């Protein structure tokens, strides 16, 4: 792998870091962020590490998924950006860039090839020490995600997130990580995007993610996986808070992705709210809302469906009083991933050229809200939408409904437009717009936003799109390895 900067995009970020190159005259004069605002970049283990052969790492559900279902360019994560070997130069690139924090994830099967903590891979344990040390040496603070989708295959074979034993297994793995790395890591993210995994992994009808293959009965499995994600987060966070926080003095949170749903007309406000609660509130409400539990509107809708489908119990599992209590305040901050806004309408019989494919999924049918995109929000043929105001709206929602909890944007970014390559004008436009929206949310709306992590530091393995989509701040010139 060789890297070089995508120069225009870097100019955008440097400007916001208070360095030399202005985004444009207006924003360079006005864009003052709080002094302690964190400017950062993110990656995840499976997408960048490579180093899969001969390193003692066990297989993950993504390795098998890619053998069974080919992705867009028939690629795998065998080499990816080779950060398993190239972390020293990656740290140097980050230092050059001037970022203060780096979000990466630990590969669970690299530490524990079979998933359970009774058999550790010492080479894997050493790798993350080396990576963290090299970051710290370069003045970059590590922000560590414990789980970014690469579940050890042996646990996947035991039902993965449909098995409620996952809560114990994840807790044991998390405890090991806190114990091993907690002296150096002061910000932990338990789980990345439980919504994407529950819907695309455990009910994958639209964009396929591992483990896949749960189409039968997936109207149940999606909510069961989601339930176990929540409980596993709560378990890991409780372990951190009870056993480590007082001495290690770090923070623990979760990363949840949200689309913003804009009502088409004033009559569509309830539809837009329902869609938003079904996506974001599904995971955020129990953790951040003062009342806890799943969102009331979501429970009501699932109850309507229970009756309609003639079932004895609703498909959305119930949280017990004890679980509600454990989940409430289980996160010191919210990690927010934002890429998309959509228009929501209560009228299901309309038709729009840019209607959202997720409406055809089981999740979309449960929500029963018509979702589509405005043509001017489109960026090429990508699934990402340009509507920075949506990010600002979400930040205001969090402020209003979740006690103004601290928020880190843990992902935001866009793939390079075809033909633009290193002269990535549309990406600078996207990033600038979103950073401006965050700025307004802080300075005009008093939202409690603490940092912005650009997705991604490097062009990397983009799941079902393989290496065909480049999200990197740094261009990676060789990105091929086929299965």
If the CB atoms of residues 326 and 424 are measured against ligand PNW, the closer one turns out to be 424
Handedness of CA 394, 395, 398, 401 (dihedral sign): negative
Report if residue 339 touches ligand PNW, rule: CB under 6 A.
Answer: yes
- For residues 306 and 303, what is the distance between their CA atoms, to the nearest angstrom? 5
If the CB atoms of residues 257 and 273 are measured against ligand PNW, the closer one turns out to be 257
Name residues contacting ligand PNW, limited to 190-209 (CB under 6 A): 192-193, 196, 207
Nearest to 161 by CA among 212, 94, 207: 212
Q: How many angstroms separate the most distant Cα atoms in the chain?
A: 64
From the candidates 193, 262, 462, 469, give the one annotated as an active-site residue: 193
Report if residue 383 touches ligand PNW, rule: CB under 6 A.
Answer: yes
Q: Which of 3, 6, 13, 44 binds ligand PNW (CB under 6 A)?
A: 44
Interacting stretch for ligand PNW, rule CB under 6 A, among 31-39, 189-197, 215-223, 360-368? 189-197
Interacting stretch for ligand PNW, rule CB under 6 A, among 150-158, 301-309, 336-344, 365-373? 336-344
Report if residue 366 touches ligand PNW, rule: CB under 6 A.
Answer: no
- For residues 27 and 53, what is the distance between their CA atoms, to the nearest angstrom? 47
If the CB atoms of residues 244 and 282 are measured against ligand PNW, the closer one turns out to be 282
- For residues 41 and 475, what is the distance between their CA atoms, to the nearest angstrom? 14
Binding mask 447-476 for ligand PNW (x = CB under 6 A): --------x------x--------x-----
**Omega of the bond prior to 211 within 30 degrees of 0, cis?**
yes
The alpha carbon torsion through 262, 361, 45, 56 (nearest 10 deg) reads 170
Helices 7-16, 83-97: crossing angle, 10 deg rounding? 50
Kindly state the smallest distance separating residue 437's Cβ from ligand PNW, in Å: 18
- For residues 178 and 190, what is the distance between their CA atoms, to the nearest angstrom? 11
Which residues, in sequence order, are CB contacts of 139 under 8 Å at separation 6+? 95, 100
If the CB atoms of residues 257 and 362 are measured against ligand PNW, the closer one turns out to be 257
336 contacts 396 by C-beta, under 8 angstroms: no
According to DSSP, residue 125 is labeled H
Name residues contacting ligand PNW, limited to 272-311 (CB under 6 A): none
If the CB atoms of residues 47 and 221 are measured against ligand PNW, the closer one turns out to be 47
What Cα–Cα distance (Å) separates residue 150 from each residue in 61, 110, 137, 235? 6, 10, 28, 19
- For residues 478 and 148, what is the distance between their CA atoms, to the nearest angstrom? 24
If the CB atoms of residues 339 and 452 are measured against ligand PNW, the closer one turns out to be 339
- For residues 338 and 341, what is the distance between their CA atoms, to the nearest angstrom? 9
398 contacts 325 by C-beta, under 8 angstroms: no
From the candidates 49, 326, 355, 411, give the one annotated as an active-site residue: 411
- For residues 122 and 409, what is the distance between their CA atoms, to the nearest angstrom? 33
- For residues 253 and 194, what is the distance between their CA atoms, to the nearest angstrom? 13
The radius of gyration computed from the CA coordinates of the chain, to the nearest angstrom, equals: 21
Report if residue 337 touches ligand PNW, rule: CB under 6 A.
Answer: yes
Active-site residue flag, 193: yes
Cross-strand pairs, 40 = 101, 453
- For residues 480 and 483, what is the distance between their CA atoms, to the nearest angstrom? 10
If the CB atoms of residues 196 and 423 are measured against ligand PNW, the closer one turns out to be 196
Kindly state the smallest distance separating residue 70's Cβ from ligand PNW, in Å: 18
- Rounded to 5 degrees, φ, ψ at 467 are -100, 20
If the CB atoms of residues 415 and 442 are measured against ligand PNW, the closer one turns out to be 415
Cross-strand pairs, 143 = 103, 187
Question: What is the size of the binding site for ligand PNW (CB under 6 A)?
Answer: 15
Report if residue 411 touches ligand PNW, rule: CB under 6 A.
Answer: yes
Interacting stretch for ligand PNW, rule CB under 6 A, among 18-26, 53-61, 275-283, 335-343? 335-343
If the CB atoms of residues 3 and 259 are measured against ligand PNW, the closer one turns out to be 259
According to DSSP, residue 319 is labeled P
Active-site amino acid positions: 193, 411
For ligand PNW, the binding residues (CB under 6 A) are 44, 47, 192-193, 196, 207, 257, 337, 339-340, 383, 411, 455, 462, 471
């Amino acid at each position: 792998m060789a890297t070089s900067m995508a120069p225009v995009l870097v100019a955008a970020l440097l400007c916001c870091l208070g360095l030399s190159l202005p985004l444009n005259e207006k924003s360079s004069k006005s864009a003052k962020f709080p002094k302690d605002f964190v400017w950062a970049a993110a990656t995840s283990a499976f997408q960048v590490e490579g180093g899969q052969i001969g390193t003692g790492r066990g297989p993950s559900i993504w390795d098998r998924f890619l053998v069974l279902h080919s992705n867009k360019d028939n690629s795998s994560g065998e080499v990816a950006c080779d950060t398993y070997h190239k972390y020293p130069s990656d740290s140097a690139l980050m230092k050059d860039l001037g970022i203060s924090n780096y979000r990466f994830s630990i590969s669970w099967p690299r530490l524990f090839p079979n998933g359970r903590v009774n058999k550790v891979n010492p080479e894997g344990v050493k790798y993350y020490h080396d990576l963290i040390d090299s970051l710290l040496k370069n003045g970059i603070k590590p922000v560590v995600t414990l789980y970014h989708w690469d579940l050890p295959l042996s646990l996947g074979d035991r039902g993965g997130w449909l098995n409620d034993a996952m809560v114990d297994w994840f807790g044991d793995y998390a405890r090991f990580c806190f114990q091993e790395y907690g002296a150096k890591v002061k910000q932990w993210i338990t789980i990345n995007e439980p919504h994407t995994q529950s819907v695309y992994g455990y009910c994958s009808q639209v964009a396929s993610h591992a483990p896949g293959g749960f189409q039968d009965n997936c109207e149940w499995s999606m909510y069961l996986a989601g339930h176990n994600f929540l409980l596993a987060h709560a378990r890991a966070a409780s372990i951190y808070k009870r056993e480590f926080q007082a001495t290690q003095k770090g923070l623990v949170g979760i990363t949840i992705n949200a689309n913003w749903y804009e009502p088409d007309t004033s009559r569509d406000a309830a539809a837009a709210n329902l869609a938003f609660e079904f996506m974001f509130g599904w995971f955020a409400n129990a953790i951040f809302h003062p009342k806890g539990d799943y969102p009331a509107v979501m429970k009501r809708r699932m109850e309507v469906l229970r009756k309609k489908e003639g079932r004895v119990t609703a498909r959305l599992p119930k949280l017990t009083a004890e679980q509600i209590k454990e989940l409430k305040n289980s996160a010191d901050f919210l990690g927010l991933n934002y890429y998309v806004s959509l228009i929501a309408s209560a009228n299901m019989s309309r038709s729009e050229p840019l209607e959202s494919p997720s409406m055809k999924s089981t999740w979309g049918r449960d929500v029963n809200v018509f979702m589509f995109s405005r043509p001017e929000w489109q960026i090429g043929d990508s699934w990402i939408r340009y509507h920075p105001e949506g990010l600002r709206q979400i930040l205001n929602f969090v402020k209003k409904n979740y006690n103004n909890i601290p928020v880190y944007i843990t992902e935001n970014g866009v793939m390079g437009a075809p033909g633009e390559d290193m002269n990535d004008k549309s990406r600078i436009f996207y990033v600038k717009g979103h950073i401006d929206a965050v700025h307004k949310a802080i300075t005009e709306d008093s939202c409690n936003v603490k940092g912005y992590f650009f997705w991604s530091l490097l062009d990397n393995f983009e799941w079902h799109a393989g290496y065909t989509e480049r999200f990197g701040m740094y261009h990676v010139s060789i990105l091929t390895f086929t299965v």
